[in-house]
Structure 1
Amino acid sequence: MEVAEVLPEFADAFAFEEFNRMQREALPALLESSENVVASAPTASGKTALAELAICKALADGGTALFIAPMRALTNEKEDDWDRFEALDYSVYVVTGERDLNPRRARRADILVMTPEKLDSATRKHDSRRYDFVTDIDVCVIDEVHLLDADRRGSVLEVTISRLRRLCAPRIVALSATMPNVDDVAAWLDAPEEATFEFGDEYRPVDLKSGVRTYTHGDNAFADKYRRLYRALDLAEPHLREDGQALVFVSSRQDTVQAAKKARDEIAERDVSMGVRGDYDFHTDLKEAIDNDTLRQSILDGVAFHHAGLSKEERDLVEEWFKQGHIELLFSTSTLAWGVNLPARCVVIRDTKYHDPLEGEVDMSPLDVLQMLGRAGRPGYDDVGYGWVVCDSAEADKYRRLLRDGKEIESRLAESLETHLNAEIAMGTITDLEDVMDWLETTFYYVRGQSKPDEYDFPNLRERVRDCLEGLVERGFVETGEDLSIEATPLGVLTSKYYLRLDTAARFAALCDRAESGPITAGDVLETVATAEEFDSVSARQDERDAISAVLVGEDTDDLDAGERKVLAILRSAASGSTPAELRSDAWAIRRNATRLVSALGAFLDRFVGPHAANLARRVEARIENGVAEDAVGLTAIDGVGPGRASKLAKEGLSTPGDVDDAGLEGLIDAGLSEGVAERVAEGASSLPALDIDWGQFPGTVATGENEVCDVTVRNVGEPARAGIRVTVNGVEMTSSNTYLRDSETVPVGVFGADAEELEFTVSVAFPEEPLVPITASRTVEVE
C-alpha cells in the first residue's frame, strides 16, 4: 500500500513510500473514522507514521493538531523532522517556556508540539489571551502514552489530557510501546474496540533476544563503572568482530565520553579490528567537520559518544556515520532511545541508575529500560537483535521479570492528588465535592482503580477525596462557602498559576508574612527558594562539600540539610558569577529551576506584600541568571546587555540604565562597546522608566507640635511602567502606593514636629517587573 495512493496530497510528508503491515492495519481507524485511537506496538515498528496519519487527517479537515512529545529534547527533533509539513505549507510550532512563547505563531500554527508540562501550564491559563490557542485543538497525539506510569511526570500527563478533553474535546490518538494493559488506557480515552490495537512482538521488524547479565559489585562506585563497562564490552565484542554495531547506554554525558575513551584502549587491547584510520577521504571530512578533539579521535577508532551537550551538527554527524557503519561502537545517554531511530545489532544498558541534579541517585525507569532495549536489531540488516541489561546480582530478578512480563501501566495521580486538585479548583472547573468526583471519573486513576480496587483503595475513594479537600482548606489554598461550595483562595490561585508544589507555596506565603512585618533581604529570598520542595531530593556528594562550605562561609546555615546547603551555594555563587568547578555539573538544572521559583516568589510578594518586595525578588532572579554584582543588576534590564556586557559597563563606572543613558553614544564607545552595539544599548536604556523626584516647597525645619502636608512629585521621563512608591520617615513607613507611572504622580507627605531632633524623609520608587535598583531620594528636616 503506497503512501501516494492513500494520501496523495500528503505523500511528501512521509519519510517512506510504502506503509508496513502494522501501519496498514491501523490505517482505516485513523483515516476513515473520527474515533479515539490507542495503539501499542514494539519499538521500531513504525508508530511515528500513525501519529503522522492522524495529523494528516486533521489537516485535511482544516483542523489543528497537537503532538505531545515525552521530553523537551524531542520537541525540537520533531520540528526538524516535520519540515516535510512546512514544505506543504503547513506551519509547525514548538511551544516553549513562558518568556519565549509567541502566542500569535501558536495561534496560527497547524501543528503544535509540546511536552506534558508545557501543556499542563498552558491549559491552566487557557482563559488568558496568551494561551487561548490550547482550546482550539482538533486532534491530540500522545506519543509514548505509557509515560503515565513515570514518577511525577505521569500524573501531569494524566490530568492534562483529562483537562484538555473537557476544554475542547479533541480526538485523541495515543501511541505506546508494548504494554500489557492497553485496554485500560483505551477505556480511559473512550477508544472503541475496533480502534484499539495491541501489536505484539511479531510486528517487530527484527526479533529481539534480551537478557540480564550481572557484575560483581564493589565498594568503590568509580571502579564499579569500569566493571560494568568491561561486562558491556564482553557482550558487544562478538558482534563487533562480525562487523555488527553496538549501542551502549550510560547514565550521564560525562560518562559517555569517559566510557568511549576507555573502550578505545580496551578494543585495541583485545585486538578487535575497527576504525576508519585507513579511509583518507573520511579522515579529511572528519577533521573539517568535528572540532571536539576527543570525539574526532574516538571516531577514527570506530568509537563515538552522543549526548545533548554536543552541538546539533555534531549529533547529526554521529548519527549519520553510525547509520553508515563508520562508527561501530556508540556510547549514549537515554535520550537517544526516545528520539532518534538509531538501531544497532547489540544494545547494552551499562547503567541502571543515574544521578539526577534534583532527585539524587535514582533507578532508571522500567519504561526507559524497555525503550532502550527496543533499539536492538537493524531492520533490513539483522535477523535478530540482542539487548542486555548489566546490573548488580541483587537486582537481576527484577530486570528478568521486567523483560519477561513487560510493565503494566499504573496511574501516579494518587501521589500528587492534592496539587492537581488545587489546580482544578483554581481554574474554576471544580466547585463542590460532586464536581471532584466527576473530575476523578475522567482520569486514568479512576479506570485503573476499577481494575485493581484493592490496590487503589477504590472503596474509600470518596473519603480520600474529602480528606484531600479538608487538607487544602486547612492550609489556606481553598475556602468553603455556607452552601458547601469550594473555591480557591489567592494563595491557591498563585500556586496553580506558577506550577508550584503545595509545601513550596506554603513557604512562599510564610516569607510574605515576614515581609509584611519587616524588611526581607536577598538572602531570605535565596534561602526560601533553596529550601523549596522542588529541591527536596538534591543531595551533596562528598567531593562537593568543601566547595559548598567555602561559598557559604560566615553564613548561619545550621538549620539546612546538606542538599539545601548545596542549592543555596549554587544560587549564591551563580549570583556572583563564580560557581565552583565542583558544583557545575548540577548547577545548570538547579539554576534553571531556581529562576522559575524566584519568579513565582516575586509574584507572591507582589500580591501579598507590595512592589518593593517583588522588585527584590526580580533583582535576585536577574542576578542568578546573569551573575552580576548587586549594584549593577539594573543593567540586565537593558535589551542586549547580558552578564559580560553588564560587567564591562560596571567596570567603566556605568552601573545603572540611568548612567548608560547619561553617557550617550560616545560614552558607551569610550567604555569599549562597538558603535553598532552602543547604539542598541543606548536605545535599550532609553526604553526603560527614568525618574526625577521633585520635593517642591519641602521645608528644612518644623516647629515641635506643628505639622503640614507637602506634595512631592515623582516624574517618569522614560517609558511607562508599574511602580511602587513608598515614603518613610526615620526608616518607618508612612505611606505606600502601587501605580502605573506614565508621566507623574503627586505624593502627599506629612511633615510633623515630633520628639526627634531631626526627621529623615525618604521617597523610594521600585519597579516590580524590572530588575532595576529602587530609586531613592531623601530630605532631612530639623525639629525646632
Structure 2
Amino acid sequence: MATTYSVAEAVPEFADAFGFDEFNRMQSAALPAVLERDGNVVVSAPTASGKTALAELAICKTLAEGGTALFLAPLRALTNEKEAEWDRFEEMGYSVYVVTGERDLNPRRAERADILVMTPEKADSATRKHDTNRYAFVTDVDCCVIDEVHLLDSEKRGAVLEVTVSRLRRLCDPRVVALSATMPNVEDVAAWLDAPDECTFEFGDEYRPVPLHAGVETYANGDNAFQDKYRRLYRALDLAQPHIEDGGQSLVFVSSRQDTVQAAKKARDVLAERDVEMGARGDYDLHTDAQDLRNDTLRQSVVDGVAFHHAGLSREDKNAVEEWFKQGKVQLLFSTSTLAWGVNLPARCVVIRDTKLHDPLEGEVDMSPLDVLQMLGRAGRPGYDDKGYAYVVCEGRDADKYRRLLREGKEIESRLAGELDSHLNAEIALGTIRDLDDVMAWLKTTFYYVRAQSAPDQYRFGGKLRERVRETLQDLVESGFVETDSELRVEGTALGRLASKFYLRLETAEGFKRLADRAAADGADLSESDVLRAVANAAEFDSVSARRDERDAVRAVLGPEGDDMEPGNRKVLAICRASMDGTTPGELQSDAWVIRQNALRMLAALREFLDRFAGPRAANVARRAEARVENGISAEAVGLTAIDGVGKGRAQKLATEGLTTPADVVDAGVPGLVEAGLSEGLAERVLAQARDLPVVAVEWGDFPGSVAHGTSEMCDVTVRNGGGGARAEIRVTVNGVEMSSESRYLGDATLPVGVFGADADELEFRVEVSFADLPLVPTSETRTVAVE
C-alpha cells in the first residue's frame, strides 16, 4: 500500500493550516515533489480528489522559506472565498491579500502580503504595470500556484492566463505549481512550465474518492425555447428523484442566475405533486433559521429542501445554503457553473440541465467542455456515497458529442493563436520585446508554442511559427501599432500602448484612432452621438444579438438614431442611451449590466484616445458621456458627478433644486445644500469636495465693443480658476473659427487675442475651457465686437 503522510509529520509548523490530520493517497504521492524539491510541479487529478491541499503545501513551503506566494484563482468569486478560508494563515501570523481593481488596490498591503490571491485578469493587469510603484509587488513573487490550469483551454480567458504566466516567469521566474482536473495531455502543460518528470503527476479515475457513473440523456425538443427549458427540467428531476427519495442529494446546473430561481420554484411544486418526501419539511430548526434569509424566494423554497445558489445572492444567504447542503438539509440545489469551479459541494447526483447559455456579448453559445467536465466532477460525496451519478441533458443531435467528451476527456489547447496580434502588441508596448529575436524568445515561453510542436496538424502554422510571427509583426507595423527601424528593432507607438492599456481588440483601437483623427483634423465639434456610436460599433460587441422583442425596445429608445447600424450594435447604443436617462426598458435589462460595464471601459479608453490624438476638448465629450452612462444623469447636471460622494441619487436631488454644477454647489453653501435635502454633515462634505474642483471665470478686460474696418488691436483676456487645479484646454474662436488652442494645468491664464476689423458686420469671440479628466460641462463665454 502506498505511503501516506500525516500533516503533523509533513509540515509540523503549519499543522493548523489544514482541516484534517492525514493526507490522502493522491496528496501523499505528490507531496515529496511539492515539499522536498524546488522544481515546477504539474498535477492532473480528478475533481474533488484534494488538489487544494497541494496548493496549500506549496504555499507552506514558500512561507517557511520567507517567500511570497501568489494563488491564481479561476473566478473572482473564489478569490474572496480563499481570503475567508485562509484566515487560518492569518491566525499563524501571515498576511493574505486579495488583489482587487485599480481603485481599491492597497499597494502597501499588497507589498507586505505573504500570500497574494488574484484572478488571471488581475495578474495580467499587475504584470503589465510591474514597473510602477503600485504594482511593483508582483515581481517579488517566489511561488505561483495556478488553480485549475486547464482554464488555458477557455476561449475567453485562456490566452490571458497563458501570457500572464509566461510574463511572470520572465519577470521574476517564480516556482510554478499548476493544478488541474483530469486532462489527456498533461505532458504538454509540463513541457510549457519546464516541470521535470518526477514533478509531473497524472492521477486517473482510480484516485477519485467516489467512483463516477456518467451518462448523456436526451429530451424531445420543440420550437418553443421556454417549453424546452421545462422539458429539460422534468428530465433532470426524473434523474435526481430516485437519489432524493433514497436520502441523497442532487445538484442541478442551469445556465443563468434567473434560471436557478425559476427552476427551484418549479421543482418545489413538482416534487410536492409527486409526493416526494423531503426531510427538510419537518425540520423545525431549519424553518426557524430560514427566516433570516434575505432572498424571499429562497426563504420559501429552502424549507422544502430545495434551494438555489448564484453569485448574485448575499454572502450570508450563500453561506447558509452551502452549510445546509453540507448538512444534507437541502436535498436539491440549483446552481450556475460558478459553484463547480469553487465551493466544494459534491452531491450524489449531478445533472447539467442546460448545455447552452446566453452570453450578453456572444448571444447563445455552447457551454464549454471545461465547464461540463468540471460540473460532472462534483458527483459523489466522499465518505457518504459508494458511487456518484452525473448526467448531461441535451438535444439528441448533440448526444454523441457529449458521450465522446465523457469517454475521451478534453485535450487542453492554447487559445493564444486567435489573439496573437493583440498579445504580441501588448508585449511590445510593455518594452519586453525589442526585436524579432525577442519575439521568438517570447513565443517559446508560451503554451501555444508547445502545442504547435506536439500537434502541428491542429495548429495551422505548425512548425512555421516564425513566418506566422513575422506576418503578425508586419501587420502591427502597417497598422500603426508598432514602429521598426532598419535594424529590425521594434517599439510600441502611442496607438499600440493605448490598445494594450485598455485591453482593446486592435480593430477597435483603429476605429477610436480614426474618430480622434477626424476630430483633430476638421475642428468640428465632436458630439455625444459620435462618441456613443464609436463605442457601440466596437469589435468587442460584434457578437451581440438582438431578439425581435429587444429590437422593438431599441426602436422605442433610439427612434431613427442608428438605423444604419447592425441590430446587435444598435442594441448596445440603446442600452447606453437608456442608461444615461436611468430608464432601461425591461426587455433589455437581462443583458444591460454586462454591456454597460463593457461600454464604460470602452468610453474610458476612447477618452484617452481623444485626449492623446485630438486634445482635452474632444476628450471631455467622452468623459461626460461616460459619467452619464454610469450615473443616469442629465447632460446639464452631469458635472455634479465630478464631486466625490455625489452619485446618481444625490445629483438628481441637487439638480431638481436648480444646483446643476459644482460652482452652484459652492455658491449655495451648507445652508443651500441643506435646503436642497442633504443632511448638514453630508452638505459639509459635499461642499468641501466641490471646492476642490475648478471654478472658471473669464475676464475680458479692455476688450472693445467695436473695431474699425481694416484695423486691428491686441487685447488680453484672462481665464481665472477660483477652485482646484486641473488639466484643461483653453480654446479661442471668432465666428466659429479657431484662433488659438492651449492645453495646460489651469490656474490663472492670460491670453493675447487679436481683434481684426474684417469683412463681417460683427465678430463673436468665444473663450471655452474644457477638462479632459472631469465630466464638467465646458465653461464658455462670448463677447461680440461690431465692425464699423
Same-fold status (TM-score > 0.5): yes
1:778 matched to 2:782 = yes
Aligned counterparts of 2:24 and 2:688: Cα–Cα separation in 1: 58
Stretch moving more, 198-207 or 272-281: 272-281
Q: CA deviation at 1:271?
A: 1.3
Stretch moving more, 384-393 or 745-754: 745-754
| 1:43-75 CA-partner distances (Å, limit 9, x unpaired) | 011111111111122222222111111121212
Aligned to 1:217: 221
Q: How does 1:185-334 map to 2 (within 5 A)?
A: 185-287=189-291, 289-334=292-337
Stretch moving more, 662-671 or 716-725: 716-725
Aligned counterparts of 1:152 and 1:410: Cα–Cα separation in 2: 13
Which of these residues, 539, 542, 558, is aligned with residue 536 of structure 1?
A: 542
Q: Secondary structure at the match of 1:563?
A: helix
Aligned to 2:129: 125
CA contact (8 A) 1:724 1:737 kept: yes
1:691 matched to 2:696 = yes
Q: How does 1:352-391 map to 2 (within 5 A)?
A: 352-391=355-394
Stretch moving more, 711-720 or 328-337: 711-720
**Letter paired with 1:314:** D
Aligned counterparts of 1:281 and 1:463: Cα–Cα separation in 2: 68
Which of these residues, 430, 433, 450, is aligned with residue 430 of structure 1?
A: 433
Which of these residues, 716, 737, 743, is aligned with residue 732 of structure 1?
A: 737
Aligned to 2:493: 489
Q: Secondary structure at the match of 2:673?
A: helix
Q: CA deviation at 1:275?
A: 4.6
| 1:610-657 CA-partner distances (Å, limit 9, x unpaired) | 011111111111111100001111111111111011000000000111
Q: CA deviation at 1:708?
A: 2.1
Aligned to 1:16: 20
1:547 matched to 2:550 = no
Aligned to 1:707: 712
Which of these residues, 659, 662, 687, is aligned with residue 654 of structure 1?
A: 659
Which of these residues, 744, 762, 766, is aligned with residue 766 of structure 2?
A: 762
Aligned to 1:458: 462
CA contact (8 A) 2:30 2:201 kept: yes
Aligned to 2:405: 402
Aligned counterparts of 1:698 and 1:29: Cα–Cα separation in 2: 82
Which of these residues, 435, 439, 444, is aligned with residue 442 of structure 2?
A: 439
Aligned to 2:526: 520
1:27 matched to 2:27 = no
CA contact (8 A) 1:149 1:409 kept: yes
| 1:292-322 CA-partner distances (Å, limit 9, x unpaired) | 2211111111111111111111111111111
Q: Give the gaps of 5 or more residues in structure 1.
A: none
Q: CA deviation at 1:98?
A: 2.3
1:626 matched to 2:622 = no
Stretch moving more, 570-579 or 290-299: 290-299
**Letter paired with 2:209:** P
How much identity, in percent, do the aligned residues show? Answer: 72
CA contact (8 A) 2:261 2:308 kept: yes
| 1:17-39 CA-partner distances (Å, limit 9, x unpaired) | 32222222222211222211111
Q: How does 1:34-113 map to 2 (within 5 A)?
A: 34-113=38-117
**Letter paired with 1:690:** V
1:567 matched to 2:598 = no
| 1:658-706 CA-partner distances (Å, limit 9, x unpaired) | 1011111111100011112112111111121222322222222222222
TM-score, normalising length from structure 2?
A: 0.97
Q: CA deviation at 1:489?
A: 1.5
Q: CA deviation at 1:709?
A: 2.1
Q: Summarize the Cα distance change of 1:17–1:733 in structure 2 as closer, same or farther, 3 Å threshold.
A: farther
Aligned counterparts of 1:226 and 1:680: Cα–Cα separation in 2: 53
Q: Secondary structure at the match of 1:63?
A: coil
The Cα RMSD (Å) is 1.3
Aligned to 1:175: 179
Aligned counterparts of 2:716 and 2:344: Cα–Cα separation in 1: 71
Aligned counterparts of 1:574 and 1:545: Cα–Cα separation in 2: 17
Aligned to 1:720: 725
| 1:302-357 CA-partner distances (Å, limit 9, x unpaired) | 11111111111111111111111111001110001001000100000000010011
1:351 matched to 2:350 = no
Q: Secondary structure at the match of 2:281?
A: coil
CA contact (8 A) 2:611 2:772 kept: yes
**Letter paired with 1:751:** V
CA contact (8 A) 2:286 2:303 kept: no
Q: CA deviation at 1:10?
A: 2.1
Stretch moving more, 432-441 or 249-258: 432-441
Q: How many residues align?
A: 781
| 1:450-499 CA-partner distances (Å, limit 9, x unpaired) | 11122223232222112111211221111221222222221111111111
CA contact (8 A) 2:294 2:314 kept: no
Q: CA deviation at 1:9?
A: 2.7
Aligned to 1:341: 344
Aligned to 1:597: 602
Q: CA deviation at 1:265?
A: 1.4
Aligned counterparts of 2:780 and 2:172: Cα–Cα separation in 1: 50
Aligned counterparts of 1:499 and 1:169: Cα–Cα separation in 2: 24
Q: CA deviation at 1:5?
A: 3.0
Aligned counterparts of 2:16 and 2:695: Cα–Cα separation in 1: 55
**Letter paired with 2:311:** A
Aligned to 1:138: 142
| 1:506-558 CA-partner distances (Å, limit 9, x unpaired) | 11011112211122111111111011111111111222121111001132x23
CA contact (8 A) 1:95 1:113 kept: yes
1:480 matched to 2:478 = no
Stretch moving more, 205-214 or 289-298: 289-298
CA contact (8 A) 1:252 1:354 kept: yes
Aligned counterparts of 1:624 and 1:158: Cα–Cα separation in 2: 33
| 1:349-387 CA-partner distances (Å, limit 9, x unpaired) | 000010011111111111100100011011111011100
CA contact (8 A) 2:732 2:767 kept: yes
Stretch moving more, 451-460 or 301-310: 451-460
**Letter paired with 2:125:** S
CA contact (8 A) 2:250 2:347 kept: yes
Aligned counterparts of 1:776 and 1:104: Cα–Cα separation in 2: 43
Q: Give the gaps of 5 or more residues in structure 2.
A: none
Q: CA deviation at 1:717?
A: 2.0
Stretch moving more, 456-465 or 398-407: 456-465
CA contact (8 A) 1:275 1:303 kept: no
CA contact (8 A) 1:638 1:684 kept: yes
Q: Secondary structure at the match of 1:381?
A: coil
